[in-house]
Structure formats: structure tokens, C-alpha cells
Amino acid sequence: MRFTKMHGVGNDYVYVNCFKEKIENPEKLAQLVSDRHFGIGSDGLILICPSQRADVRMRIFNADGSEAEMCGNGIRCVAKYTYEHKLAKAGGFFSVPGQQPYPASFKIETGKGILTVGLMTDNNDKVDKVCVNMGQPVLTPKDIPVKLAGEKVVEEPIEILGQKFLMTCVSMGNPHAVFFCDDVKAIELGEIGPAVEKHSLFPNRTNVHFVQVDKPTDLKIRTWERGSGVTLSCGTGACAACVAAVLTGRGQRVCLAHIPGGDLDLNWCGEDNSVYMTGPAVEVFEGVFDRPKKSSS
């Protein structure tokens, strides 16, 4: 199986061109390729597939083999791959309210629905920046889903491993639990993350983010991703953090997210209520994967 390793601000996946490759068991394959000792090493597997409804279809599988609805960093890489490998013909201008338009665009089918992306290319016609219309955030508990009453979950008290936190919940096509803190480095993410992810309040589990607000336009974020663990970045999570910061009065709609893997520009636009995320997409290498044989020693 031929593959391409790509990352968006450190959130790395193995990408497979399903216009050419046939994948029969993506759940198992995701576990194999994600293994950082016996596989390729990644946060998961992303399949780039033909679509009857858009230019291409993206399917995301976490490192544990579970299928996710959406991946913000992954969709930027899918856009880059689609453009540079000519899987589809790019459309016209992609506009973000109040910003310069992007000269090329694609429509990508995801588990959240069809999303539009804008591409900026360099002098060699390589994609170096992608802006994604991530759509409107979902705040109704039953649609996130989270088993809590009310119209929104904003600073809801919750006890995790004997500690009390205030939780804000947002869906960006996948569920997110956001917690604000004074110092993200002080959080024991490897312990608290899985406890929140698998909490009984979340029927589909959840992504977990701790956010430090240095000023209303700057967020520091650490992430525990559902099905993958601690990752260097989560695009949908950064969008959820932006929304949560606004809902709690801590942040502004246009902000910069500082994540261990890099930075993302975010804009929860007041005109259409959509969240726009802009960031890089990087191809690392290509290769051929055969199922590895683990040593018995």
C-alpha cells in the first residue's frame, strides 16, 4: 500500500489515496500504521476517497481504530494532497468575511457534511496555507452529544479524579470538552484526559482541551484527542476553544491559537456564525507499507 505522511501543525496522519488503493479494513490498518514503534507512526489514518457529493471524501480513523467525524488539521492536508496530486479540479475564489479571497477552493465531504476550503499556493504552485470553513459550532447538549440539560453547557461544574473543574462543551462535527486554566503546562493531561474522554456524560466519548488565555486574542491549548491520546494539535479543538473563550467572556472571535505543534488563525465570524480556521499543511514523505512483523523477544 502506497501512503503519504503529512501533518498540520504537528497533528500527523498517514494518508492513503483511495482513488488508487483499495482498503478493506481501515480500522485495523489505522492501528497498524499509527504504531510509532512497529508501524509508520501517526495520530491516525486518513483516507482520501472519491465522492458523489463533493470533489473528494475524507475518512478519519484514530490511532485506536475508531472512526472520527472530522479532523481540522487533516482536512487541510487532504486539500493540499488533492490539489498537488490533481485528484480534482480546483474551483474559484473562496472568501472569508473581511479578508482577502483565496484563489482556489475545494469542497470536501466529511462525517460532518461538505466543507469548503480555500488554498493559497507559492511560486512553485505548492499549497502552503489552507483556510477551512468549519461551519457553525453546535452548542445544544443532545447534539454534541453530552448528557446534560439546558440549551448550552457553559462552565458546568464537573469532578474528575477528585478535582473540580468548570467545563464548556462544543461540537465542531465532533465533541469537545474545554477547560480553562491558569497554566496549561501544570495539567496532568495524561491522567485527566482519558478520564474526561470516557466519562459517562459523553456517549460518544469526547476530545479534551485545557486552555490558557494570556489575552483575549491569544490562546494556549493542550489536547487529549479521543482515540489518539496527547497530540501536538487538534484543529477542531482549537475552533472549539475559540468558541468556548467567547462564550465564557474570556476571548474574542478573531484569535491566534498557540498549540504545541504551531499556531492556527481562528475567526468565529459574526456574519455567518461559522468558524474559519487557517493554517499550514505539510507533506513529510511517501512510502510503501507492509504489515510489520513484531519481534517475539
User: In this model, does residue 158 exceed pLDDT 80?
Assistant: yes
Which residue is associated with the grid cell 490511532? 63
Q: Domain spanning 2-133+281-288 has what CATH number?
A: 3.10.310.10
- pLDDT of res. 99: 80
User: In this model, does residue 11 exceed pLDDT 70?
Assistant: yes
Average pLDDT over residues 109-115: 95
User: In this model, does residue 153 exceed pLDDT 50?
Assistant: yes
Distance of alpha carbon 289 from alpha carbon 3, whole angstroms: 7
Q: Report, as residue numbers or ranges, the catalytic residues.
A: 71, 234
Task: Tell me the pLDDT of the chain averaged across its residues.
Answer: 95
User: Cβ(281)–Cβ(80) under 8 Å?
Assistant: yes
- pLDDT of res. 230: 96
User: In this model, does residue 297 exceed pLDDT 50?
Assistant: no
Q: Dihedral of CA 224/74/23/171: which sign?
A: positive
With 0-12 / 13-18 / 19 or more C-beta atoms within 10 angstroms meaning exposed / middle / buried, residue 154 is middle
Asked if 2-133+281-288 and 141-273 have one fold, the answer is: yes
pLDDT digits (tens, 9 = 90+) for 42-99: 999 999 999 999 999 999 999 999 999 999 999 999 999 999 999 999 998 898 887 8
User: In this model, does residue 189 exceed pLDDT 50?
Assistant: yes
CATH 3.10.310.10 is the classification of domain 141-273: yes
Instruction: Give me the residue spans of the domains in the chain.
Output: 2-133+281-288, 141-273
Q: Would you place residue 296 in the very low, low, confident or very high pLDDT band (cuts 50, 70, 90)?
A: very low
